[in-house]
Structure 1
Amino acid sequence: MADSSKEDQKEAKTVEISFPFILIRTKKGLSLIDRLARLRFIKKLGWILLYMLPIAAFVGFYLILRAATALISSAPLRSFAGQFNPLINLGIPGINPYLPIVYGWIALIIAMIVHEGMHGILARSTGLSVKSSGIILLLILPIGAFVDIDEKELKKAKAKDSGRVLAAGPGANILTAVIALLCLILIVSSMVPIASGVGVRVIPGSQAEEKGIMDGDIITSVNGSNLTFQSDLDKALELHAGENVTLTIARGDIKLNYTLKMPDGPVIAGVLQDFPAQKAGVLPGDIITELNGTKITSLDKLNGTLATLKPGDNIILKVERGEEIKDFSITLASDPQNSSQAFLGVTLTTPSESLGILSVGIVETLERYWSLSSTTPLIHLLLPTLAPNNIPFSDVMYIFYTSSIGDVFYPLANLFFWIWFININLAIFNALPIYPLDGGQAFKVFLQAIGKNRLSEKSVTRITNGVTLAMVSLVIFMIAVPYLTI
């Protein structure tokens, strides 16, 4: 929302250029704002939006504080977050590499129209003048919108009226986000798996690819045992170490059988630097077959055998490396997370990964997403571009489903997701007590109202600026800490 005095409005130009920014004003749409402002429910809606503002501000503060403290206390989390491009913190599609250009811009434009439009509607409903509206461009990219509300009138307005006007934008974004989320859940609830089983993504150059298994295939059974959940696949495969297994695959309406050879034991995915396995010469790709003479056919068998040992014990680890059989004498270390447990220092592939299959859970991914009581916190805020295996309508997962509304479920689900995501984030950010954001202006109005005859204008300004500085510092710290060495 932009404020302007009557004198400023008289001199306002239709187009103002301050390179690289371009501001375009128009009076088109003001008559629509006036008509909407006269609707009976608008004033009541304004009160609802006003009460929503501090709730949104509290949620935003809590999430930022929680993220900052989690990043400080967890080195693995900092390392994980630091892998992402810092531009992820910018909400501009095309600049933020994780926001899709088409869906992102549609959602952002809707968010700006809803936000600024509701500012104008609530302003007119309280009798304030709206002189014009417009958009702000960064070269040719729309990065903001505004309505010009007379600054003098806004300052003279009662606190309850100016508060409702300021809360209107974030509140409208919240309502839009909720509607979009409900539409998204309805679309996802219309989706069903093409076939019951486990989805497939194939590792290039693997045995699975050589046999002809393809991305998008669905494994329905292993040696005749039907599969439902992702975990069913690895449980079935680990029973057949060193044996041939037959995978029954659904590819569209076709059923195909593929026979693959399971390795003789767990395959090592990686060795941890400066731990026993690495020091002894164990390499990624080695297949563990024995430990102290005990045959190892699965991860559970390996962990069970290690559980009988203690740090400092010497073991003989037998592995297959290509055509060779190698024995390694290793002194076990202490587990970094539990010093009383023995630790070898390796990570292992899953049985399906050892065949070259990255499995995805079709049934559980769908059920987890459409349930509003999901056991995965904030799952509906996960980006399809960042966590595709967890999102049923992502580019990776949508091929495993069909819908009662037809193929249109895929673009509609993505559109409603981005409308939900951008609106809720815009609402929460604007609700924060950061001046001159809506939340910051509303916070100042609140201080003026409760401090009337007790707080001078200078004191109100100092408090507002202090809170703004604290919030901005917290936001900057949260953004920067993953890229700092602590």
Structure 2
Amino acid sequence: MLTTLFWIVLGFAVYTALEARGLLPSWIRVWGPLVTFETTNGLGALDRLAAPRHRRRWRVWTNGGVAVTLALLVITFGLVLFAAFVALTQGGASEVNQPRNALAIPGVNDFLPLAATPEILAGLFVGLFVHEFGHGVLSRVEGISVESAGLIVLAVVPFGAFVGIDEDDEREAETSSRNRIYAAGIANNLALAAVAVGCLVLLVSTSIAAVPGVAVGGVYPGTPADEAGLERGDVITAVDGERIESDDDHREALEAANDSVELGVEGARDGTKTVTIERSVVVTSALAGSGDGGGDGEATALEPGQTITAVDGEAVATEREFATALENATVVDLETDDGSGPRTVVAGVAVSDVDSDGALAAAGVLDPGDEPDSLVITVLDGERIVDDGDLFDALEDAEPGETVTLEAAVDGEVETYAVTLGERDGDAALGVALAPGTSGITVTDLGVDAHPHEQHLAVLSGDVGAGDGLDASVLAGALALFALPFAGMIDGVSSANFGGFVGSVADFYTVTGSLAALEGVVFVVATLLFWAWWLNLLLGVFNCIPCYPLDGAKILRTTVEDVGSRIGLESPARVASAAMVGASGLVGVAIALVLASPFLVG
């Protein structure tokens, strides 16, 4: 982030100093932090492209663009208002709607990685160019003068573009002509996005493969993997000499391995190596109050980075041993390596939230208005529940409406309840939100955060629907592909974002076939196509929002004015302007609320 901001600040300082000394040419102007580059060169090309023999094709193309824009105008207007409602009423504050993510600046925006800066800026520049190019050509097709064209940058980052259309000519043009001009940029962006995504899917599906093994997306501090020197970009290829191809192979191999295990690793920096890991059970996350004391009552809650050495006096060194020890008792003492004394834990699934209209609340587990310090489910219909995975498995075998026995500890007091299961998406449900792991504690005996490189490759190849709960349709594929830059921030979608075949992520893939000798070039081209598709789709859809000065607001105004004239309104222009201002105001307030929600709802 600091690198990107440094260049922005430096660029702004240079522009300002040059302007103050009168050293900037007339076609460069500084407007606060923004700089415009305006030119009249190349405008003759617009006249050639808008020649009479081409006009019919341009009008057919942009008439379709008008229809698409009007549909997207309604959809985006509803989505913006709905987003504001969710952000304020349902705890919608998240990493996704942080204010910094409203800026298309690599390294500042969480979804635009610094390593992909050249590809992102290229995609953004191309998107802005084809958008304004569409406005310019259609202006000439409709006989409206284009006086200049230019680019707007935030010091060094493309921020916008423009074509200077003669306003008098524009006002005198027919409604259909103005709508075609406004929709031309949107149609061009959407068309370029479609071409780019088609080329991307073709290139990835035929020439890029995931490296076999477990891709190391990160390493938890203080874990065995961290102490052994594993790092992001490494790929685990073998366990105790046994070749592994996937995460499933890795888990199975570790299940069968001893406390000490040898890993074959393709190092991101130091090539092939063998690493010996002495496994231990390390806490990776814990709810506040997890293991909130025992013995003399002076022990503190568990914290990430602590190592659990024993359960009820029985030594544990692996996740398997830890889970087995917890199955033997509901209330256990956990000992750690810091010598601070045992932590007494009710071993089960910690409930983080209870739906007041859900099955658990209806069974009387909690008194109305009661907010216990802890609520842990330990048994469901005779099955021992140790972690959230056990509970999900048990609910899969049950039916909505079925009455089951449930044991739960409310503030440490274990009781048995009869619960009539509710229904959610056709499955049995308790009406609760669960903390991951056991009693809100998640552990690892290795410490590797696996990168979902195979999942990302499947989406990029157009292969969605198999194993990830999505229908194998074009729409599902497009939505999954569009979500990749922020997929890691959406619960249940992915464990990591994807920003291109850049940095350490490129180590998780290889180029196959006839293009294998051009691996670096293929990765650059694929990343360019990814961001060209993503940014052009975003630019096209964003410009449909009915908020001035976006194209959607202009089309709303001209359309309302035209309809008003047809039905005989006394002042259709005034009604149209009021509609545009009203819609712009609502959208502006909604967007402000979404961006402010992290501060309003925490």
Same fold (TM over 0.5): yes
Matched, 1:371 2:465: no
CA contact (8 A) 1:197 1:362 kept: no
The number of equivalent residue pairs is 459
Local SS of the residue matching 1:371: coil
Q: 2:450 aligns with which of 333, 356, 359?
A: 359
Shift in Å, 1:446 = 0.3
CA contact (8 A) 2:140 2:146 kept: yes
- Residue-by-residue CA offset, 1:87-121 (whole Å, 9 max, x unaligned): 22023557657544433332222122111111111
Equivalences for 1:71-470 in 2 at 5 Å? 71-75=87-91, 78-81=93-96, 84=98, 86-92=99-105, 96=109, 99=112, 100=114, 101-136=117-152, 142-193=158-209, 195-200=211-216, 201-202=218-219, 206-208=223-225, 210-211=227-228, 213=230, 215-240=232-257, 243-251=259-267, 256-263=273-280, 266-277=281-292, 280-284=299-303, 285-287=306-308, 289-290=310-311, 298=319, 302=323, 305=326, 309=330, 315-321=331-337, 326-330=341-345, 335-337=351-353, 339=375, 341-342=377-378, 345-353=439-447, 357-371=448-462, 373=464, 375=468, 377-383=479-485, 389-391=496-498, 393-404=501-512, 405=515, 406=518, 407-452=520-565, 453-454=568-569, 456=571, 457-470=573-586
Structure 1: gaps of 5 or more residues: 1-12, 310-314
Shift in Å, 1:358 = 2.8
Shift in Å, 1:461 = 1.6
Shift in Å, 1:160 = 1.6
CA contact (8 A) 1:238 1:351 kept: no
Q: Against the structure 1 CA distance between its residues 390 and 139, is the aligned structure 2 distance closer, same or farther, given a 3 Å change threshold?
A: closer
Shift in Å, 1:161 = 1.5
Q: What's the % identity of the aligned pairs?
A: 25
Q: Against the structure 1 CA distance between its residues 304 and 431, is the aligned structure 2 distance closer, same or farther, given a 3 Å change threshold?
A: farther
Give, in whole Å, the separation in 1 of the partners of 2:212 and 2:320: 26
Give, in whole Å, the separation in 2 of the partners of 1:163 and 1:307: 71
CA contact (8 A) 2:127 2:535 kept: yes
Give, in whole Å, the separation in 2 of the partners of 1:455 and 1:386: 53
Q: TM-score, normalised by structure 2?
A: 0.66
Shift in Å, 1:198 = 0.9
Q: Against the structure 1 CA distance between its residues 231 and 326, is the aligned structure 2 distance closer, same or farther, given a 3 Å change threshold?
A: farther
CA contact (8 A) 2:259 2:317 kept: no
CA RMSD of aligned residues (A): 3.7
Q: Against the structure 1 CA distance between its residues 18 and 192, is the aligned structure 2 distance closer, same or farther, given a 3 Å change threshold?
A: closer
Q: Against the structure 1 CA distance between its residues 465 and 308, is the aligned structure 2 distance closer, same or farther, given a 3 Å change threshold?
A: farther
CA contact (8 A) 2:311 2:334 kept: yes
CA contact (8 A) 2:290 2:302 kept: no
Give, in whole Å, the separation in 1 of the partners of 2:157 and 2:229: 45
- Residue-by-residue CA offset, 1:148-200 (whole Å, 9 max, x unaligned): 22223222222221111111112211112222222222332245446421112
Give, in whole Å, the separation in 1 of the partners of 2:213 and 2:319: 22
Give, in whole Å, the separation in 1 of the partners of 2:224 and 2:458: 31
CA contact (8 A) 2:326 2:332 kept: no
Number of the residue aligned with 1:31: 44
Shift in Å, 1:378 = 3.7
Structure 2: gaps of 5 or more residues: 1-24, 355-374, 379-408, 410-437, 471-478, 490-494
Q: Against the structure 1 CA distance between its residues 462 and 302, is the aligned structure 2 distance closer, same or farther, given a 3 Å change threshold?
A: same
Local SS of the residue matching 2:87: helix
Deviates more, 1:373-382 or 1:470-479: 373-382
Give, in whole Å, the separation in 2 of the partners of 1:299 and 1:63: 46
Shift in Å, 1:204 = 6.2
Q: Against the structure 1 CA distance between its residues 95 and 33, is the aligned structure 2 distance closer, same or farther, given a 3 Å change threshold?
A: farther
Give, in whole Å, the separation in 1 of the partners of 2:321 and 2:239: 20
The residue type equivalent to 2:594 in the other structure is M
The residue type equivalent to 1:383 in the other structure is P
Give, in whole Å, the separation in 2 of the partners of 1:466 and 1:460: 10
The residue type equivalent to 1:289 in the other structure is A
Give, in whole Å, the separation in 2 of the partners of 1:378 and 1:455: 48
Local SS of the residue matching 1:47: helix
Local SS of the residue matching 2:292: helix
CA contact (8 A) 2:557 2:577 kept: yes
Local SS of the residue matching 1:368: helix
